[in-house]
Structure 1
């Protein structure tokens, strides 16, 4: 995983739970990287899993809830850090339509070694969209958080319904409906 995912996570932990908690989960995690991340570096996704699990244990907040909250946070940060990915896009559905064919293409140009998940649109109408997230990593709840971050970013009233999911968090199917 790209280091920006780690640096932003630790920033969120520090802001929401304090620097002491951030230090605690890094020390408790016994990470190969030692918890020293750079935004452009690449790190094993297992380190993120360990960090989130240790934060969950310390805060008693379930892992999926932490991952969803982090996904929402990260989407907001991406909109600030990478404004060109949002140029000309006026809705959440329009943004979701562009992930595979445009945004992931651009991300691969910036980070050729990035291992990105797949976001496939199964069908779409003016007011409904069904999408399928799949990855080799167990971050379906994180993907849901990113999607909810997109909804918040575009200020839309959209209901999110989970249709199907793998117990291991490697895939999930959503239906989004404008209300």
Structure 2
């Protein structure tokens, strides 16, 4: 995974717990590189999971809650650092539908070695988007947080349900129904 994800997770933790606590928690996490990350580096997802688990143990918050909070944090990061991806989007569905066809295409230009998740979308009816999130990494709660943050970003409200995809692939289906 790209180092930006790691450096932003550490920044979120510092914002929530302070630098001294973050240093202590990272030391206790038994990380391969001691918790030192650069934005341009590549690191195994297992390191990210170790960090989340360590902060879960420290804070008492579940890994699910922490990943969702991190999804919110990362959407704010993306909005601030890549406004071009949001400039012509008017709603959550438009943004989520653009992830594979626009956003990930640009990411691949910058980072050809990036291993990105897949976002397949479908609108089965007005006010509903089905998103199939496919990734070998156990980050569906992080994705859930990004979807929640997208709704908030566009001033929308809705119900998000998350279930295993019914195709046996290990993917996750998000059904997003906008409130009327």
Query: Shorter-chain-normalised TM-score: which range?
Result: over 0.9
Count of aligned positions = 176
Root-mean-square deviation (CA, aligned residues, Å) is: 1.5
8 Å Cα contact 2:129/2:175 also seen in 1: yes
Matched residue SS, 1:159: strand
The normalised TM-score by structure 1 is 0.93
The residue that corresponds to 2:46 in the other structure is 46
Q: How does 1:114-125 map to 2 (within 5 A)?
A: 114-125=114-125
- Mapped partners of 1:114, 1:106: distance in 2: 11
Offset of 1:147 from its aligned partner? 1.0
- Mapped partners of 2:65, 2:86: distance in 1: 26
Q: 1:17 to 1:171 in 2, by over 3 A?
A: farther
Show structure 1 runs of 5+ residues with no match: none
The residue that corresponds to 1:79 in the other structure is 79
The residue that corresponds to 2:101 in the other structure is 101
The normalised TM-score by structure 2 is 0.92
The residue that corresponds to 1:127 in the other structure is 127
Show structure 2 runs of 5+ residues with no match: none
Return structure 1 stretches of 4+ with deviation > 4 angstroms.
none
Offset of 1:163 from its aligned partner? 3.5
Deviation digits for residues 21-67 of structure 1 (CA, Å, limit 9, x no counterpart): 21122101222222111111111111101010011111111101100
